[in-house]
Every structure is written in structure tokens, then in C-alpha cells.
Amino acid sequence: MSDALYVFYILPYVAFAIFVVGTIYRVINWARSAVPLKIPTTAGQQPTFKFIKRTWLDKIDSPSNKWWAFVRMLFEVFLFRSLFRNTRYYIEKGGKNVDARWLWLFAVLFHYSLLIIVLRHLRFFTNPVPNFVKTIEYLDGVLGVAIVPPLLMTGVIALIALAFLWGRRILLAKERCISLPSDHLILFFMAVILVSGLLMRYIVKIDLTYVKMFALSIVKFTPPSPEVLANLHPLFLVHFTFVCITIAYIPFSKVMHFAGIWFSPTRNMPNDNRMRRHVNPWDPNPEVPILAREGITVAGVTYKSKKLDWETYYEMYKDQLDEIAEKNYTLKAEEF
């Protein structure tokens, strides 16, 4: 029995190996895909004549160099600026916009609570515990200090925010339609981790000393004694297993947005279209355009043309287009 428990000692290493390799693989995969066009989306004033003023907000919104693009990125990563500006998409019957920025609020609360919770967990992985971890824990608990053990607000906030974020996907019709199973899966993982953690802290008391010895043995790469493993509480093992599963699942999941956000072309490109020429990186300065040089291959036949005109297009997709035409649709080239 106690030998079998060593599975839990191996588990975090496997999970982290998958996480690190998977994340680096995906990041490099993204870095290899070219961005052929300059597509920054902006709402601010571009640099132009001296007498047209640009405030610092314009500079963040419409950055003209790498530095301001970096600042915009920081706003995006730390304040979820796109989410803040982009959630008012409900249109009621009267054509009125509905403020849906509560999504931004709960997203911010959830992410920052999670960050603080992760930092607080350093108390299990370090010995002696560094002072900043103690400070974080103290500040986190100042409001709930009369309770034994002190109520840490981030745990509560994360739970409430999670309930909203999941409730939104379950209760709102539009969100329910666009939610994939994977959206629910990651929220389910988060829910299990949060609830089991809160239970252990406030309701089902467990002997934390063994938990800490177990955590230390993981970071020290020294297998724990069978005694330590035998004393780990089942609820802790649930908590721990789900954390490992989540970590291993990250590279395959939407949680990869923590790396992907840095690759958003509309956010990380300076808006300097008029100052600098953007060259398509996978086909720089072609003598013959790629359409004429390599052409497009459809169903094994390669079509080369200087410009993709209607005749070539029709030839490419003849079968499908005819099928559409049979249903009494008129097919013709768009007039410009």
C-alpha cells in the first residue's frame, strides 16, 4: 500500500515535464508562424502633424514604437484592457448597449486571487519561509483575523468569481451556446481545486505538517518517508492530484492564453504603417507574386494566376459552386 503511494510523489514531476515541454513547444510553434500583414487595432490618434495633439492614452492605444507597444501589452496583460473595452456586445431590442463589464471585473478578481493564492502556497515549498510570503498572507488575512484560522479573502473572492464565470456559461443563453466542453472542463478543475483547498483550511482539518514535508521533499528531489505519505489526508490527495492534472493539461488547453496573449498581432505590433513598411516575412520582396509563382492547389490541381479572378475561382470550386447555383442562387463576381 505505502509503495503505491509513491505514485503521488512521481505525479508532480510528470505533470511539470508535460507542462514545460508542452508550453515551450506551443510557444515555438506560434513563433514560427509568420504575420504577413500589419494588423494593429487601435482607437487612438496616430502620430501626424505636430499640431495634432497626442495624449499618453493615444500613445498606449496607438503605439508608434516598440516601447509604447510594450506598454500597451502590459496594460493588456495586467489589466485585461481588451476585455474591459470589448464586453458590451449585448444589444437589446431597442438597440441599446448593455454594460457587460462585470465579466472584466470577475476575470480580474479571479486572476489576481489565483496569483496571490499561488504565491501563498510558497509557504509549503520553502523552509524557512521568505518574508514576502508572510506579508502576503498577513495582508490577505487582515479582514478575517477574528476567525480561527484567519479567513483569507482571496480564497473567498476566487470562489465567488469562479461561480460567476461558470454561472455565466451555464445560465446565459448566448454563452451557453458558445461554450465548449473544454471551457467547462477547466472550470470544473478550478472548482475542485478551490473547494477542496477551502475545505481543508476551514472545515475538514488535516495535519498540515505532513503536507509540508511532502511538498519539501518534492522541491528537494528527495523521496519522502513512507510515514509522511501514509499520513497524507485523502482530501489533500484529491486537491494535489487535480492540481497536477491541471498543470499537465495546460499546454493542451485554453489556459495557454497566458503565453498566447504575448503573440496577439493586434496587440503587440506598433501602429507604424505609415512610417515603416511591413514586409511579409515568409515571402519578402518577391519578383513574381506567390499566386503566380506557386499558385493554389485545390483537389490536386494547381492554379496559377496573377490575380485571383472569378474565372479561376469558379474553376477551382466548380462542383460546390454549381451545387449552390442549382438551388436557385445567383453566382457572380462582386462588382467593385
Partner 1 sequence: MYHKGYVALGIVLFLALLAMPYWVTAGKIKYEEIEKELAPAKGKCVYDEEWMAKYHMELLKDWRELAVRHGVRHYHTENGDFNVSLTECWKCHDYNNFCAKCHNFMDVEPVCWECHYNPSMNYSTVNYIK
User: Which parts of this chain interact with partner 1 (CB under 8 A)?
Assistant: 16, 20, 23-24, 27-28, 31-32, 34-35, 122-123, 125-130, 132-134, 137-138, 145, 148-150, 205-209, 212-213, 216-217, 219-220, 222, 225, 259, 262, 281
Q: Residue 215 CB: number of other CB atoms within 10 A?
A: 21
Query: Please, which residues have CB within 8 angstroms of residue 43's CB and are 6 or more apart in sequence?
Result: 61, 62
Contact track, ligand HEC, 189-218, x by CB under 6 A: ------------x---x--xx---------
> How big is the site for ligand HEC, counted in residues (CB under 6 A)?
7
Partner in contact with 43, chosen from ligand HEC, partner 1, none, beta carbon below 5 to 8 Å by kind: none
Q: Are 166 and 110 in contact (CB under 8 A)?
A: no
Distance of CA 143 to the CA centre of its chain: 31
Report the chain's terminal Cα–Cα distance, integer Å.
Answer: 76
> Which residue lies nearer to ligand HEC by CB, 158 or 250?
158
> Which residue lies nearer to partner 1 by CB, 123 or 168?
123
In the complex, the smallest distance separating the C-beta of residue 320 from partner 1, rounded to whole angstroms, is 35
Partner in contact with 259, chosen from partner 1, ligand HEC, none, beta carbon below 5 to 8 Å by kind: partner 1
Question: Is residue 266 at the binding interface for ligand HEC, with CB under 6 A as the rule?
Answer: no
Partner in contact with 54, chosen from ligand HEC, partner 1, none, beta carbon below 5 to 8 Å by kind: none
Partner in contact with 201, chosen from ligand HEC, partner 1, none, beta carbon below 5 to 8 Å by kind: ligand HEC
Distance of CA 85 to CAs 62, 103, 172, 207, 223, Å? 15, 11, 20, 46, 50
**Angle value at C-alpha 22, between 254 and 166, nearest 5 degrees:** 20
In the complex, the smallest distance separating the C-beta of residue 5 from partner 1, rounded to whole angstroms, is 17
Query: Please, which residues have CB within 8 angstroms of residue 44's CB and are 6 or more apart in sequence?
Result: 54, 57, 58, 59, 60, 61, 62
> Which residue has 489589466 as its cell numbers?
79
In the complex, the smallest distance separating the C-beta of residue 141 from partner 1, rounded to whole angstroms, is 9
- Give the residue nearest to ligand HEC (CB): 149
Q: Are 34 and 282 in contact (CB under 8 A)?
A: yes
In the complex, the smallest distance separating the C-beta of residue 228 from ligand HEC, rounded to whole angstroms, is 13
With 0-12 CB in 10 A as exposed, 13-18 as middle and 19+ as buried, what is 102?
exposed
Contact track, ligand HEC, 133-172, x by CB under 6 A: ---------------xxx----------------------
> Which residue lies nearer to partner 1 by CB, 165 or 211?
211
Partner in contact with 50, chosen from partner 1, ligand HEC, none, beta carbon below 5 to 8 Å by kind: none
Partner in contact with 97, chosen from partner 1, ligand HEC, none, beta carbon below 5 to 8 Å by kind: none
Partner in contact with 134, chosen from partner 1, ligand HEC, none, beta carbon below 5 to 8 Å by kind: partner 1
In the complex, the smallest distance separating the C-beta of residue 285 from partner 1, rounded to whole angstroms, is 17
In the complex, the smallest distance separating the C-beta of residue 148 from partner 1, rounded to whole angstroms, is 4
Tell me how far apart the alpha carbons of residues 85 and 300 are, in angstroms, rounded to a whole number: 45
Residues paired with 91 in a beta bridge:
97
Query: Please, which residues have CB within 8 angstroms of residue 212's CB and are 6 or more apart in sequence?
Result: 124, 127
Nearest to 236 by CA among 260, 263, 255, 212: 212
In the complex, the smallest distance separating the C-beta of residue 30 from partner 1, rounded to whole angstroms, is 9
Handedness of CA 61, 67, 72, 73 (dihedral sign): positive
Residues that bind ligand HEC (CB under 6 A): 148-150, 201, 205, 208-209
